[in-house]
């Protein structure tokens, strides 16, 4: 038996990865990945290679990369020894930060973030240093080069640094109020925290609520604090049944409900089904669109 041997049914792959079977079929049709075999009864059977490909893509989209880009990276079969940064100017910082995270050297990692904060804009620190570092750590985990604990430790450290950036900006005294939260079942906070920083930097009063937020409570909180918009992050673990159940309530709100995250990067049409609006996978473009929406509605 080798890595190409058909082993897993679609339901078993869904259980192991959290990726819905219908999403896997969409990826198969659009990108040719995964590439399952067929059993005698016509059902799909996935190999260990298929499973690793799915986990690779999953790790990327959890960190805000689009599915198509994740597939490109998979096909390129990048050398895991060379983390990729979107801009060569920042590559050395990313490489050193990855090394510090892999060694659990938080003192060195803090020095690098401090250096980046002095040398680069807030946008660059978030999107050209922290995000590529997290993406690379996710790749390392997906390829089996590091453990879940090591990946979680790095993520927790970097999440804390993003929170510090948010706190240092302070809450604007005026401006539109946005309630930022993760959908029920969703615990990945990096994306919404980054957007919270970028919105606050643009004069938006951000109420960051956090992970796994019950929708009833979010709606009540928004009313109580006279919110002008809701930003809801939907990762792959988001509870889609609860979202569908509350879709009508969200649609009836007289404020914009903006949705983003890995789930919608993979299936953008779900936003409308859940009662929201999807602004795309590009973080800066989404932030600028949100600001325009808020300025038009306040």
Q: What pLDDT, on the 0 to 100 scale, is given for residue 288?
A: 94
Question: Phi/psi of residue 274, each to 5°?
Answer: -90, 0
Q: What pLDDT, on the 0 to 100 scale, is given for residue 194?
A: 97
Q: What pLDDT, on the 0 to 100 scale, is given for residue 78?
A: 41
Q: What pLDDT, on the 0 to 100 scale, is given for residue 63?
A: 64
Report the mean per-residue pLDDT for the chain: 89
Q: What pLDDT, on the 0 to 100 scale, is given for residue 226?
A: 95
Confidence class for position 86, pLDDT limits 50, 70, 90 = very low
User: Model's pTM, two decimal places?
Assistant: 0.72
Q: What is the mean pLDDT of residues 152-160?
A: 96
The tens digit of pLDDT for each residue in 201-223 reads: 999 999 999 999 999 999 999 99
Cα 209 to Cα 213: distance, rounded to the nearest angstrom: 8
Of 59-73, 243-257, 278-292, least confident by mean pLDDT is 59-73
Q: What pLDDT, on the 0 to 100 scale, is given for residue 83?
A: 52
Indicate if the pLDDT at residue 88 is higher than 60: yes
Cα 271 to Cα 32: distance, rounded to the nearest angstrom: 25
Q: What is the mean pLDDT of residues 110-134?
A: 92
Indicate if the pLDDT at residue 65 is higher than 80: no
Contact 126, 198 (CB under 8 A): yes
Question: Phi/psi of residue 208, each to 5°?
Answer: -85, 115
Indicate if the pLDDT at residue 51 is higher than 90: no
Confidence class for position 158, pLDDT limits 50, 70, 90 = very high
Task: Kindly list the structural domains of the chain, giving each domain's residue range(s) and its CATH number in brackets, ordered by start.
Answer: 8-76 (1.10.1660.10), 88-168 (1.10.1240.10), 170-297 (3.40.50.280)
Q: Vertex 262, ends 187 and 50: CA angle to 5°?
A: 105
Confidence class for position 187, pLDDT limits 50, 70, 90 = very high
Contact 57, 71 (CB under 8 A): yes
The tens digit of pLDDT for each residue in 229-278 reads: 999 999 998 999 999 999 999 999 999 999 999 999 999 999 999 999 99
* CB contact burial 107-125 (16+ within 10 A = b; e otherwise): eebeebbeebbeebebebb
What is the 3 state secondary structure string of the chain?
Answer: CCCCCCCEEHHHHHHHHCCCHHHHHHHHHHHCCCCCEECCCCCEEECHHHHHHHHHHHHHHHCCCCHHHHHHHHHHCCCCCCCCCCCHHHHHHHHHHHHHHHCCCHHHHHHHHHHHHHHCCHHHHHHHHHHHHHHHHHHHHHCCCCCHHHHHHHHHHHHHHHHHHHHHHCCCCCCCEEEEEECCCCCCCHHHHHHHHHHHHCCCEEEEEECCCCHHHHHHHHHHCCCCEEEEECCCCCCHHHHHHCHHHHHHCCCCEEEECHHHHHCCCHHHHCCCEECCCCHHHHHHHHHHHHHHHC
């Amino acid at each position: 038996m080798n890595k190409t041997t058909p082993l897993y049914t679609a339901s078993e792959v869904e259980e192991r990865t959290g990726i819905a079977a219908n999403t896997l079929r969409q990826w198969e049709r659009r990108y040719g990945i995964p590439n399952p075999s067929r059993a005698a009864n016509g059902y799909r059977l996935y190999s260990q290679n298929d499973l690793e490909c799915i986990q690779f893509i999953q790790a990327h989209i959890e960190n805000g990369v689009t599915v198509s880009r994740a597939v490109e990276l998979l096909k390129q079969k990048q050398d895991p020894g060379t983390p990729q940064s979107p801009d060569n100017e920042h590559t050395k910082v990313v490489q050193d930060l990855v090394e510090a995270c892999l060694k659990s050297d938080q003192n060195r990692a803090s020095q690098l973030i401090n250096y980046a904060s002095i040398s680069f804009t807030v946008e660059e620190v978030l999107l050209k240093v922290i995000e590529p570092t997290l993406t690379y750590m996710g790749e390392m985990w997906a390829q089996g080069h590091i453990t879940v604990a090591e990946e979680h430790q790095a993520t927790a450290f970097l999440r804390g640094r993003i929170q510090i950036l948010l706190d240092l900006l302070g809450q604007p005294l005026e401006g539109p109020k946005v309630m930022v939260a993760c959908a029920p079942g969703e615990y990945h906070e990096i994306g919404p925290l980054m957007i919270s920083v970028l919105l606050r930097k643009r004069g938006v009063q951000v109420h960051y609520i956090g992970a796994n937020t019950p929708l009833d409570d979010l709606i009540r909180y928004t009313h109580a604090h006279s919110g002008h918009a809701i930003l809801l992050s939907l990762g792959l673990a988001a509870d889609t049944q609860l979202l569908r159940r509350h879709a009508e309530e969200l649609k009836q709100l007289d404020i914009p409900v903006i949705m983003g995250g890995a789930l919608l990067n993979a299936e953008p049409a779900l936003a409308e089904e859940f009662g929201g609006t999807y602004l795309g996978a590009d973080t800066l473009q989404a932030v600028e669109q949100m600001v325009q929406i808020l300025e038009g509605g306040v």
